[in-house]
Structures are given as C-alpha cells and as structure tokens.
Amino acid sequence: MFRFLAKSALATVIWKRYRRPIVSTLILFISYFFIAMVHGDYVSWATTTAEHQHLWISFVLKWLALIGVTLLYYWYNSRAIAHIDKQDETEAERHTSKKSRRPQTPPPESDAPDPFAAIRQKDKLRSRADVAMAQHKQNHKP
C-alpha cells in the first residue's frame, strides 16, 4: 500500500513539474510519425503511377517539415524551461520573503557596555577542549 502511494506521489510530482516537456515530446514523435507516413504514402503512390517528376519535392518538403517541427519543439521547450526556472525563482523569493517578515531586533546601542569586549581583544581563543587538554598535560607531566 505504501509502495503504491509513494509511486503515485512521485509520478504526480514528475507530471506536475515536467508536463509541458513530456507532452511536447510526445507531440514531436507523433509529428515525426505522421510526416513519415504521409511521405511514404506519396512515394508509394508516385512509384505506382510512375509520377517521378516531383518526387524530389516531396523529400525536400519532408525534411523541411521535420526540421520545422524540431525547431518548434526546441523553441517551445526552451520557453517551458524558462517558465519552470521562473517559477522556482518566485518560489524561492516567496520563501525568503516569509523569513524576512520576522520582526528584526534593533542593533545594540553603542552606549551600552560590550560584555564580549574582553573576548574580542584576545589574540587566540581557546575552547573547553583546549583548556581540558592543557590541564591534562600539566597534571600528567613526569
């Protein structure tokens, strides 16, 4: 049951995010098939009726159609990718704007004494581990 839900959720996420490229790729392949089918029908008709005069035009039109459909596919998908990136940016902006809505604390006044001034003036800061190791070395000297 959980496996089915996980697969369904994954498929839904993929479909929502990549619906435009998936559908456009399907349309591209169907277009290729349709162009090849129409061209094949014309070539078989031309060979059957011995009409070979304009056969070269059908090949030129076939390749122009294939190139045109492919260019249209790349143009459409580049817009789809830009659209997805734009959605990601607006989502990120929305996420960061939520964080920036928190009330910000005002910076400390310069008149108040700085409790960390002594720490900031030290040349080297030592952690608890450094202090414990130094004490251990002093206690276990031969």
* In-domain check, residue 133: no
Q: Between these two residues, 66 and 116, which has the higher pLDDT value?
A: 66
Q: Which residues contact 17 (CB under 8 A, 6 or more apart)?
A: 84
Model pLDDT for residues 74-129, shown as the tens digit of each residue: 999 888 777 666 766 776 676 666 555 555 665 656 677 888 888 888 888 888 89
CA–centroid distance for 32 within its chain: 28
* In-domain check, residue 125: no
pTM of the model: 0.54
Q: Is 141 helix (H, G, I), strand (E, B) or coil?
A: coil
Element (H, E) at 95: helix 55-100
Q: How many CA atoms lie within 13 A of 90 on its CB side?
A: 6
| pLDDT over 70, % of the chain | 80
The tally of domains found in the chain comes to 1
Q: Between these two residues, 49 and 97, which has the higher pLDDT value?
A: 49
Q: Is 67 helix (H, G, I), strand (E, B) or coil?
A: helix
- Please give the pLDDT value at position 95: 65
Q: Which residues contact 6 (CB under 8 A, 6 or more apart)?
A: none
Encoded tokens for 54: 């304009």
Structural domain for 12, as ranges: 2-103
> What mean pLDDT, rounded, does the chain reach?
84
- Please give the pLDDT value at position 142: 66
| pLDDT over 90, % of the chain | 35
Residue 6 pLDDT level (bands cut at 50, 70, 90): confident
Compute the CA torsion angle 11, 77, 69, 23 (nearest 10 deg).
Answer: 20
CA–centroid distance for 67 within its chain: 27
- Please give the pLDDT value at position 96: 67
Q: Between these two residues, 96 and 50, which has the higher pLDDT value?
A: 50
Task: Give the Cα separation of 40 and 115 in Å (integer).
Answer: 86
